[in-house]
Amino acid sequence: MYAVQAQRAGGPEVLEYVEVDDPTPGEGEVLVDVKATGINFIDTYRRSGVYPMQFPHIPGTEGAGVVSQVGEGVTSVQVGDRVAWHDAFGSYAQKVAVKADMLVPVPEDIDFDTAAAILLQGLTAHYLVTGSHRIEPGQTALVHAAAGGVGLLLTQLITHMGGTVIGTVSTEEKAQLAREAGAQHVFLYGEGVDIAQTVRDLTDGEGVHVVYDGVGKDTFDASLDSLRVRGSLVVFGGASGQVPPFDVQRLNSAGGVFLSRPSLQWFVRTPEELRERSEDLFTGLKEGWLKFRVGATFPLEEAADAHRALEGRKTTGKVVLKA
């Protein structure tokens, strides 16, 4: 088969399209013919050496395709099944071996590009609003980077659950995207903007029930100050850098608030949980209240160009590779 390999740690140029042996599915695994691969920022950290990896390696963990072979002991899927996954290394390839437990069935009416693209960010948005802090009707949430991949999905899910979204973004163009996703109030959080005061002005001085913060270092203090008494701060990423260590007493002075720092792995602990969350997302797409747009598609052999576009902030929405 053909695959993209990161030959060594470095820039996008280290990604080469090469012929390699087909993977062999081990016990509990299946071989999948990959139709589409989702690109995530973490792939670039692994390629560049920010996250330690062995080289050469085939990047990517997310995709969708058709099962072509099942390994020993697999009973949950069959050859010919349409499937998607978010956690199988080596997904920038024509074929990949995936643990059968990590597969979700893809309904006929969901195309492979969408299935490959929505899973990781969609599952993240899903656990954030159901597991980290469950949105109740009437609650108000502050969503940072509301026009980002996770941000747009979060905004739609919160709105669908009866919550109100206050979104922050960096540009007017992104503000428009966040509003289209359902955010009731959107403001630009650039230099000199008092985020917490703006949030208090929008909430009769009370603050929000929950802040979903994937920006991290730059927004953490303002997020804490934007909460109402007994509110929740969910820090799920550090797009601006990781939050430095801090004094837990601040949770008390902020109003007895709750802080969590979750990641997806803790919210898809069983195949059942993974499938339930995925089904909710696919149902949302089918019913039309959840919209998801693939921002750009590149042929698999042009993975280096896809990384260049992503790192150059030239893309909006999700980037997908087509095998």
Q: Which residue is nearest to ligand NDP (CB)?
A: 148
Nearest-10 Cα torsion for 28, 33, 35, 41: 50
Residue from 237, 243, 292, 307 in contact with ligand NDP (CB under 6 A): 237
145 binds ligand NDP (CB under 6 A): yes
150 binds ligand NDP (CB under 6 A): yes
Cα distances (Å, whole numbers) of residue 100 to 192, 264, 306: 50, 18, 29
Nearest approach in angstroms of CB 75 to ligand NDP is: 30
295 binds ligand NDP (CB under 6 A): no
Instruction: Give the nearer residue to ligand NDP in terms of CB position, either 87 or 302.
Output: 87
* Region of 5-13, 100-108, 117-125, 287-295 interacting with ligand NDP (CB under 6 A): 117-125
Rounded to 5°, angle at Cα 314 from 196 and 14:
120
* Interaction residues for ligand NDP, span 159-178 (CB under 6 A): 169-170, 174
202 binds ligand NDP (CB under 6 A): no
263 binds ligand NDP (CB under 6 A): yes
Residue from 23, 65, 90, 149 in contact with ligand NDP (CB under 6 A): 149
Which pair of structure tokens corresponds to residue 48? 């560049």
Instruction: Give the nearer residue to ligand NDP in terms of CB position, either 77 or 157.
Output: 157
155 binds ligand NDP (CB under 6 A): no
The conformation of residue 131, written as its DSSP 8-state character, comes to I
Pattern of binders to ligand NDP over 32-71, x per CB under 6 A?
Answer: ---------x------------------------------
Rounded to 5°, angle at Cα 136 from 163 and 130:
100
Query: Is 82 buried (19+), middle (13-18) or exposed (0-12) by CB count in 10 A?
Result: buried
Cross-strand pairs, 84: 64, 104
Handedness of CA 6, 298, 3, 58 (dihedral sign): positive
Task: Tell me the H-state helices in the chain.
Answer: 41-48, 112-127, 149-160, 172-180, 195-202, 220-225, 249-253, 271-287, 303-311
315 binds ligand NDP (CB under 6 A): no
Instruction: Give the nearer residue to ligand NDP in terms of CB position, either 20 or 42.
Output: 42
- φ, ψ dihedrals at 269, nearest 5°: -75, -25
Cross-strand pairs, 80: none
Instruction: Give the nearer residue to ligand NDP in terms of CB position, either 23 or 214.
Output: 214
* Region of 66-74, 142-150, 203-211, 290-298 interacting with ligand NDP (CB under 6 A): 142-150
Residue from 1, 239, 251, 294 in contact with ligand NDP (CB under 6 A): 239
Which pair of structure tokens corresponds to residue 72? 């020993």
Q: Which residues of the shown chain bind ligand NDP in the complex (CB under 6 A)?
A: 41, 120-121, 124, 145, 147-151, 169-170, 174, 214-215, 218, 236-240, 262-264
